[in-house]
Amino acid sequence: MLRGRFHFKLPLDGESSCVLRQARVKDCDAIRALYDDIYGGAYPLELIRNPDVTRATIADANHLWMLLEADARAVGSVLFAFDPADFIGKVYGAVVRPELRGHDLMQLAIGACMKRLFAESKPLDILYATTRTVTPAPARLVTKLGFQNAGVFPNCHKVKTSETHGLDVYVRSRALENRLPHPKLVAEVAGLYEIARETFGLADEPTIEDVGPPNPGSASLRFKVLDDPALVARLYAERLADRQLRYCFFPFHEPHVLCQSADLAHEVFLHKNAADGYAAILGIKSDRADFSGLLDDVCEASGRLGLRYIEVLVSAFDPLKQREALHARFLPCAYFPAMKVTPGGQRMDYLVFSRSFERLDFTGIELEGTGRRYLQAFMKCWYAMLLAQAPDFEAQDKLF
Ligand SMILES: CC(C)(COP(=O)(O)OP(=O)(O)OC[C@H]1O[C@@H](n2cnc3c(N)ncnc32)[C@H](O)[C@@H]1OP(=O)(O)O)[C@@H](O)C(=O)NCCC(=O)NCCS
């Protein structure tokens, strides 16, 4: 996917210009200084916090790290990551020094790379971005490049405050043509699909499945937690190779933590961002029928680990799992069309569910257009969940 030379000259103003080139390992210090200046040393990802990860990412064959230079000084940066199994990519980490913002530099930089990456001969089908909402700039920028908003991640990352991020997706038309139509959804997530239908121009109606509450679960498990990223990564690779893991599709996330039952019969692999308490479920080895109870037990273990937010991906063709995720108080926040390649070669839609362990806070959020609609759909589910948990005020002592 990455063959070819990524080297461009971008106009800065009438007279001067900038160079956009692939970063080299020896640029590591300049890159980390750039992000430290812009984020005041609070960049939340290991990518910058840990110089070994910075260097490994620059050198990685499935990454393209682009550096903007003016007068031989690092003034901006953006990364692309690729998953060759699902022909999906992610663009992230965009930064431009404040004094050079508003010159369309980042838009030109990402646009120049996308032109190469989506050339007819290239296999890439999808590029997505998760955009901060502390200013409207990131979402507007990707919208101008043809991305569509596909959801929000409420309070997912913490920089100075808990930030909500948007999900923005660029899908090539051949990927949408190759998409499995008529997703099978529980009623609570149908609102998200309606937004996606409009924004991505999807013609097909969903099938709404009447799935009742899950059966009462088995006794809860108290997971012990293995917080040893190197060992966990090795175990994860072994479980994948032995085909023991279910729900193991979560591109661009590495496993760090393993939740294990005492008898080792149940295992759940988590991605964990220690800096801000973000987590995602990357794979489950368990024959337990009660998926909802399993998620609850994982949340209990995550809370002990100091995590504050957790995500899980659920197929848009698995209404039972959607119901179980809702039952475990995970709320639907994004609808990703055509996200994964199925064994049959078609592309399948996915839903993102998230659960926050903290009080939701949207102070200072700058969310426009479709993003606002997704947040409303999310809040509607959140409110319905609170009502469902609340005591019946009619039957008991009235508070109001
Ligand atoms: C986001 C960022 C990389 C944008 O870089 P940039 O080179 O200034 O962006 P561009 O000039 O290419 O902007 C493209 C579009 O974004 C929008 N935009 C940019 N800055 C904006 C701002 N401060 N407010 C509102 N919209 C803005 C505009 O619509 C602009 O198009 P226009 O010039 O035709 O109006 C830069 O603001 C930055 O480094 N921010 C801090 C780090 C960060 O939050 N990164 C995003 C991570 S998701």
Nearest CA owner, ligand 1 atom 42: 95
Domain count, the chain: 2
pLDDT computed for residue 390 by the predictor? 76
Band of residue 37 on the pLDDT scale cut at 50, 70, 90: very high
Q: Which of 77, 95, 96, 141 to mutate to test the pocket of ligand 1 (most atoms within 8 A of CB)?
A: 141
Locus of tokens 């002592």: 397
- In ligand 1, the atom with minimum distance to the C-alpha of 165 is 48
Band of residue 1 on the pLDDT scale cut at 50, 70, 90: low
Q: Is residue 151 part of a domain?
A: no
Q: What is the pLDDT of residues 218-253, one digit of tens each?
A: 788 899 999 999 999 999 999 999 999 999 999 999
Residues 318, 235 within the same domain: yes
Mean of all residue pLDDT scores within the chain? 93
Q: Is residue 388 part of a domain?
A: no
Residues 192, 86 within the same domain: no
Residues 219, 116 within the same domain: no
Question: For the whole prediction, is pTM greater than 0.75?
Answer: yes
Q: Is the pLDDT of residue 205 over 90?
A: yes
Q: How far is the CA of 245 from the centre of ligand 1 (A)?
A: 40
Residues 243, 350 within the same domain: yes
Q: Is residue 110 part of a domain?
A: yes
How far is the C-alpha of 125 from the C-alpha of 117, rounded, in Å? 9
CATH number of the domain at 236, please: 3.40.630.30
Beta strands 63-70 and 7-11, pairing class = unpaired
Residues 79, 198 within the same domain: no
Q: Is residue 131 part of a domain?
A: no
Band of residue 388 on the pLDDT scale cut at 50, 70, 90: confident
Q: How far is the CA of 101 from the centre of ligand 1 (A)?
A: 6
pLDDT computed for residue 158 by the predictor? 86
pLDDT computed for residue 397 by the predictor? 57
Q: Is the pLDDT of residue 337 over 90?
A: yes
**Average of per-residue pLDDT across 110-124:** 92
The residue among 60, 135, 154, 92 whose CA lies nearest residue 357 is 154
How far is the C-alpha of 177 from the C-alpha of 182, rounded, in Å? 13
The backbone torsions φ and ψ at residue 284, rounded to the nearest 5 degrees and listed phi first, read -130, 130
Band of residue 216 on the pLDDT scale cut at 50, 70, 90: confident
Q: How far is the CA of 95 from the centre of ligand 1 (A)?
A: 9
Among residues 79, 98, 124, the one where a domain terminates is: 124
Beta strands 207-208 and 184-185, pairing class = parallel
Locus of tokens 């640029």: 27
Q: Is the pLDDT of residue 2 over 90?
A: no
Band of residue 393 on the pLDDT scale cut at 50, 70, 90: low
The residue among 234, 129, 232 whose CA lies nearest residue 171 is 129
Does residue 48 line the site of ligand 1, with CB under 6 A? Answer: no
Does residue 144 line the site of ligand 1, with CB under 6 A? Answer: yes
Q: Is the pLDDT of residue 399 over 60?
A: no
Which three-class secondary structure string do you get for the chain?
CCCCCCEEEEECCCCCEEEEEECCHHHHHHHHHHHHHHHCCCCCCHHHHCHHHHHHHHHCCCEEEEEEEECCEEEEEEEEEEECCCCEEEEEEEEECHHHCCCCHHHHHHHHHHHHHCCCCCCCCEEEEEEECCCCHHHHHHHHCCCEEEEEEEEEEECCCEEEEEEEEEECHHHHHCECCCCEECHHHHHHHHHHHHHHCCCCCCEECCCCCCCCCCCCCCCEEECCHHHHHHHHHHHHHCCCCECCCCCCCCCCEEEECCCCCCEEEEEEECCCCEEEEEEEECCCCCHHHHHHHHHHHHHHCCCCEEEEEEECCCHHHHHHHHHCCCEEEEEEEEEEECCCCCEEEEEEEEEECCCCCCCCCCCCHHHHHHHHHHHHHHHHHHHHHCCCCCCCCCCC
Residues 6 or more apart from 97 whose CB is under 8 A from it?
34, 37, 38, 75, 76
- In ligand 1, the atom with minimum distance to the C-alpha of 138 is 1
**Average of per-residue pLDDT across 357-379:** 94
Q: What is the pLDDT of residues 166-182, one digit of tens each?
A: 999 999 999 999 999 99
Q: Is the pLDDT of residue 275 over 90?
A: no
Enumerate the β-bridge partners of residue 20.
8, 68
User: Which has more pLDDT, 3 or 398?
Assistant: 3
Q: Is residue 250 part of a domain?
A: yes
How far is the C-alpha of 29 from the C-alpha of 54, rounded, in Å? 9
Q: How far is the CA of 358 from the centre of ligand 1 (A)?
A: 30
Nearest CA owner, ligand 1 atom 43: 95
Cα end-to-end span (Å), the chain: 62
Q: Is residue 1 part of a domain?
A: no
Among residues 91, 124, 157, the one where a domain terminates is: 124
Q: How far is the CA of 152 from the centre of ligand 1 (A)?
A: 19
Band of residue 350 on the pLDDT scale cut at 50, 70, 90: very high
pLDDT computed for residue 44 by the predictor? 84
**What is the extent of the structural domain holding 266?**
184-362
Does residue 38 line the site of ligand 1, with CB under 6 A? Answer: yes
